[in-house]
Structure 1
Amino acid sequence: MTLTYGYLKSKISSATSLKATRRKSEIQYHLHARFNAGAESWEAAINVGTNDSDDLLKYRLVYDFHHGMIETIKNAPLGFQDLTGASSLPALDFLRSDVLKETGNWRDSDVMDGTDLPEPVASLERLLRRAAAANADVYIFGRKFTDDTPGIHDVHQNQGSQRQFLNNGRDDHNDHNDVWQDGAVLVDLGPDGWAGYFTAFTQQYIPTDRLGNPTADSHPV
């Protein structure tokens, strides 16, 4: 089953803040900010890394993002565009589409230390400050909060995970694998072009099957 997935077209309306979420074996870090989408205010939690050197974030941060899907999302109104159950762009699937074409190689995040100095935190903060100063449109792809408050999270590759994140095709709980539900941040910088931020985790494996689970011959991203 699928989760509520899509993208939020919005304007950033607050400073960013780094927040930690403690997991069983690591601390995950997210960059939080508020975004205005018309009359509605949304919160976004964007993954930036962990303190676990065995499960680093993989990221691509590009300032020359170009793709045909830009025209589609650029013409969308402000607000959340529901893509639940979609199987083509602008729903994102890093493995089944060419959205990552010409975005370079994956880079390892720094090991997070609770400050905003490690990468990609520092660079993403600069990008979002630039977006705020320019009143730029920001597009955040991910899954909606499950408590019905206006928010978006899981802003990273949402397939290839193992253990408790395997998709059994029946349960509709949070954070399981799925296809065409990958997360990202795109920023329209006007004359300066588009920027894109894409992430996955070291312990996510590819390729994936029709449910988004790793195949028998899969390997780390």
Structure 2
Amino acid sequence: MNVIRDSGNGFRVKTEDSNILLFVGALFRHPNHDTRNPSKNMQDKFPDIKLLVFDVDGVFSDGGIILSDVGIETKRYNVRDGFGVVAARKMGIEVGILTGRANRNVTLRMRELGIPHVVSKCTHKGEGIERVAKLYDIPLENIAYLGDDLIDLPAMTRVAYPMAVADAEEPVKAHAKYITTQPGGHGAVRDAINHVLEKLGRYDELVQMYLEM
């Protein structure tokens, strides 16, 4: 009996007496492993996310800007998003901020949430996300990013797990591996955090931690 490896189909076995070809590749493959599409098997594995990076305007906030008569800018934040940040850090996942604008109330809010690094005035978010990765000493393959607009695309295309808010620009959604059910400023950050924790198999652990308090 002659045994020959058959490209894409395991092994081809040729019997000497009847010249019948028997395909027995299934005996040598894991039932969930697709030898014809190896990239699919890699896509099925969720990356080991250790750092979540968020934009601010349109993600943490709804994108609205309130200016006082003397030029003081204020923003509205969702308290459940804030709790999600605290919860992620309790589970050992770091959180960072990458924003194109600079505002004192952003710094104050993120400091209140215990976020150690806020990178602001970033006009090139591809370079910005690489800077954030160095600040946390976490490689890009362990980073997830949540954005809403075209300026976020260079960051999204560099990280392991790009995400978009529900009301993001269509090209941003097209490059996202996950789209939140909530729009920016209305629970999108919490949605993204919950999603990552669930994919990592950590969300039930978080719930149990609070049940035992």
Q: TM-score, normalised by structure 2?
A: 0.23
For normalisation by structure 1, the TM-score amounts to 0.22
Structure number with higher helix proportion: 2
Bigger RCO (CA 8 Å, 6+ sep): 1
